């Protein structure tokens, strides 16, 4: 009999009589747990609890907030092995990647524990004689966090930790596909001494709960990561209510490979960026833009490396690629593979594997053009288009010719080209001889154009979103 996991509302575990079965994508008959399927009523209760708890959390000493967050970080790190197994089972990421993600979540809490006591302002001379001006940062109130399935602990952590550090109360709605890690994070925050009502977890279907959270007049801000379609809808609602909103959405991230690249480095960078985590990263390299001189040798080596990837049970330490996270996601990937063939690409791999679970061979779409739908629309699976270009200038033009602008990369040994690319890339993050995916926890994360809205996440800059600035004038006589 699976354990029944409930919401955390006002410091109490509470559920409905409806449940969601959290199933393992490697083996859908493995039920990880039963998680409550909430109704909108529970969102209302969570927001009410958060609203009540927030003022005393905000007026508590910054050291108290820092201690709670630091303890939560320590508990996550001390349970990293068990959490990584849970993450692998519910999302399908291989164990090493899952452990990396859990450690990142723990480090995020520790980083923002420090930000709670570093939250500063400015003191300036006024233009008026005898006056002082100072700025301070204040929390927003209640913030709603809506998170996706692909980073089921890191994303809830890197949103909740800065929100709490700043003195906000939080209502988190995690993805229905992967509620387990968010539930464990809630348990840990509770255990770390987070006061009742300051952090609330409500699990269930996004269309109903997410919408209730976004529309609630007592929710001052929404931070969302997920699809562009849902992100746009949330932004529209927030705009109507003049509510602060932060969106992290898709990407169609380019990785440029120049003739002067170290071939082995380029192959490993592209293999990782395109296929690791089964391509289910908004930062994945889904367009490999390759200069003509190196193109054929690169494709031959990358194809050999692709075909040799060990796909299987993510809990087996020899596995390099786990399953796709869901049947629906897999169906979308297989449709993209068919579309690439219809568009005239030579497709290598991409087939569903004949075994239990949602396994798919990683796919390369050779002979792709940047105008093809498979090179323009996010697929969010282990699929990468290979686009041949004549030179650096064309590579940059193709890299930037996308509605997205999250991450961007180049493989080159030329300082001149690396420097120019860092300057010219229309993206929030630029990588040189490194995969477009896989970022540090303590520096800004986010993009431009259709990828992001509302300010960066992670690093000290994340505090900007979760605070509002007050300017105070004093006449001292």
Ligand X SMILES: O=C(O)CCC(=O)C(=O)O
User: What are the residue ranges of helices labelled H in 245-391?
Assistant: 263-275, 292-308, 327-342, 373-376
The verdict on 172 binding ligand NDP (CB under 6 A) reads no
Q: From residue 325, give the alpha-carbon distance in Å to each of 179, 321, 328, 340.
A: 13, 12, 9, 21
Please spell the DSSP secondary structure of 439-451, one letter per residue: --SSS-B--EETT
Q: Which of 214, 395, 410, 437 binds ligand NDP (CB under 6 A)?
A: 214
DSSP 3-state of 432: strand
Vertex 66: Cα angle to 64 and 69 (nearest 5)? 110
Q: Write out the H or E segment, with its range, that includes residue 171.
A: strand 169-173
| Catalytically annotated residue among 248, 291, 343, 457 | 248
Smaller CB separation from ligand NDP, 23 or 295: 23
- Under rule CB under 6 A, residue 326 binds ligand X: no
- Based on the shown chain and the rule CB under 6 A, indicate whether residue 108 belongs to the binding site for ligand X: no
Query: Which residues share a beta bridge with 196?
Result: none
Q: Does 175 bind ligand NDP (CB under 6 A)?
A: yes
Give the integer Cα–Cα distance in Å for 190 and 192.
5
Contact 155, 181 (CB under 8 A): no
Nearer to ligand X (CB atom), residue 10 or residue 108: 108
| Among candidate residues 128, 348, 155, the one with its CA nearest the CA of residue 247 | 155
- Which of ligand NDP, ligand X, none interacts with 176 (beta carbon under 5 to 8 A by kind)? ligand NDP
Residue 183 binding ligand X, by CB under 6 A:
no
Strand 346-349 with 448-449, pairing: unpaired
| Of residues 186-225, those binding ligand X (CB under 6 A) | 225
Binding ligand NDP (rule: CB under 6 A), the pick from 156, 167, 250, 254 is 250
Contact between 281 and ligand X by CB under 6 A: the answer reads: yes
437 touching ligand X, by CB under 6 A: yes
- The residue among 111 and 392 lying less far from ligand X, judged by its C-beta, is 111
> Going residue by residue from 134 to 153, which x/- string records binding to ligand NDP, judged by CB under 6 A?
------------xxxxx---
Yes or no: say if 253 and 406 are a contact pair by the CB < 8 Å rule: yes
Does 453 bind ligand NDP (CB under 6 A)? Our answer is no
186 binds ligand NDP (CB under 6 A): no
Question: In the complex, what is the shortest distance from the CB of residue 430 to ligand X, in angstroms, rounded to a whole number?
Answer: 13
Binding ligand X (rule: CB under 6 A), the pick from 22, 150, 246, 402 is 150
- How big is the CA angle at 274 (ends 178 and 436), to the nearest 5 degrees? 90
Whole-number Å distance between alpha carbons of 250 and 243: 22
Shortest Cβ distance from residue 252 to ligand NDP (Å)?
10
**Residue 437 binding: pick among ligand X, ligand NDP, none (C-beta 5-8 Å cut-off by kind):** ligand X
Residue 294 contact, options ligand NDP, ligand X, none, Cβ 5-8 Å cut-off depending on partner type: none
- 40 near ligand NDP, judged by CB under 6 A: no
Nearest approach, Cβ of residue 326 and ligand NDP (Å):
8
Give yes or no: 248 in active site: yes
Going by the DSSP 8-state scheme, the letter that residue 259 receives in this structure is T
Q: Which stretch binds ligand X (CB under 6 A): 14-22, 116-124, 200-208, 434-442?
A: 434-442
Considering only 139, 156, 210, 438, the residue that binds ligand NDP (CB under 6 A) is 210
Q: Which long-range contacts (CB under 8 A, 24 or more apart) does 236-241 make?
A: 237/211, 238/214, 241/215, 241/217
When asked if residue 386 is in the footprint of ligand X (CB under 6 A), the reply is no
Nearest-approach distance from CB 254 to ligand X, in angstroms: 15
CA pair distance 178, 192, nearest whole angstrom: 23
Complete DSSP assignment for 9-73: ETTEEE--S-EEEEEETTEEEEEEEEEE---HHHHHHHHHHHHHHHHHHHHS-HHHHHHHHHHHH
Among positions 252-291, residues that touch ligand NDP (CB under 6 A) are 282
Assess 435 for contact with ligand NDP (CB under 6 A). no
Distance CA 259, CA 291 (A): 6
Footprint on this chain of ligand NDP (rule: CB under 6 A): 146-150, 173, 175-177, 205-207, 210-211, 214, 225-227, 230, 233-234, 248-250, 282, 329, 332, 378, 380
Footprint on this chain of ligand X (rule: CB under 6 A): 150-151, 225, 281-283, 437-439
Task: Supply the residues annotated as catalytic.
Answer: 248
């Amino acid at each position: 009999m699976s354990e029944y996991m409930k919401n955390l509302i006002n410091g109490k575990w509470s559920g409905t009589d409806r449940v969601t079965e959290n199933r393992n994508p490697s083996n859908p008959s493995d039920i990880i747990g039963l998680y409550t399927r909430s109704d909108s009523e529970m969102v209302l209760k969570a927001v009410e609890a958060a609203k009540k708890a927030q003022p005393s959390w905000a007026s508590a000493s910054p050291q108290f907030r820092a201690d709670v967050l630091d303890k939560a970080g320590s508990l996550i790190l001390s349970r990293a092995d068990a959490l990584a197994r849970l993450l692998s089972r519910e999302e399908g990421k291989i164990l090493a990647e899952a452990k990396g993600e859990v450690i990142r979540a723990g480090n995020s809490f520790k980083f923002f524990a420090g930000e709670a006591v570093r939250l500063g302002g400015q003191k300036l001379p006024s233009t008026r004689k005898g006056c002082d001006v100072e700025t301070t940062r204040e929390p927003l109130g209640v913030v709603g966090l809506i998170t996706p399935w692909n980073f089921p602990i890191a994303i809830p952590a890197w949103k909740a930790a800065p929100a709490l550090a700043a003195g906000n109360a939080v209502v988190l709605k995690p993805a229905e596909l992967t509620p387990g890690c968010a539930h464990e994070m809630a348990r840990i925050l509770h255990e770390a001494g987070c006061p009742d009502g300051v952090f609330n977890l409500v699990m269930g279907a996004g269309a109903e709960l997410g919408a209730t959270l976004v529309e609630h007049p007592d929710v001052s801000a929404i931070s969302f990561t997920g699809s562009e379609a849902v992100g746009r809808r949330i932004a529209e609602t927030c705009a109507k209510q003049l509510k602060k909103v932060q969106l992290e959405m898709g990407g169609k991230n380019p990785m440029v490979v120049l003739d002067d690249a170290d071939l082995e480095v380029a192959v490993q960078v592209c293999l990782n960026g395109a296929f690791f985590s089964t391509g289910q990263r908004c930062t994945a390299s889904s367009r490999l833009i390759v200069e003509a001189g190196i193109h054929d040798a690169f494709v031959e080596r990358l194809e050999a490396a692709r075909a040799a990837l060990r796909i299987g049970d993510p809990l087996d330490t020899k596995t390099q690629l786990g399953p796709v996270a869901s049947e629906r996601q897999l169906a979308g990937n297989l449709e993209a593979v068919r579309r690439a063939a219809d568009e005239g690409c030579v497709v290598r791999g991409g087939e569903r594997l004949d075994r239990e679970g949602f396994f798919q061979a990683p796919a390369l779409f050779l002979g792709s053009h940047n105008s093809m739908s498979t090179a323009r629309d996010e697929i969010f699976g282990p699929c990468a288009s290979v686009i041949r270009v004549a030179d650096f200038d064309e590579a940059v033009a193709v890299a930037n010719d996308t509605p997205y602008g999250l991450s961007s990369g180049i493989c080159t040994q030329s300082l001149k080209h690396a420097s120019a690319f860092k300057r010219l890339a229309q993206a929030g993050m630029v990588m040189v001889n490194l995969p477009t995916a896989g970022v540090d926890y303590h520096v800004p994360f986010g993009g431009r154009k259709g990828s992001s809205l509302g300010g960066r996440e992670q690093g000290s800059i994340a505090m900007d979103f979760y605070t509002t600035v007050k300017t105070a004038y004093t006449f001292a006589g």
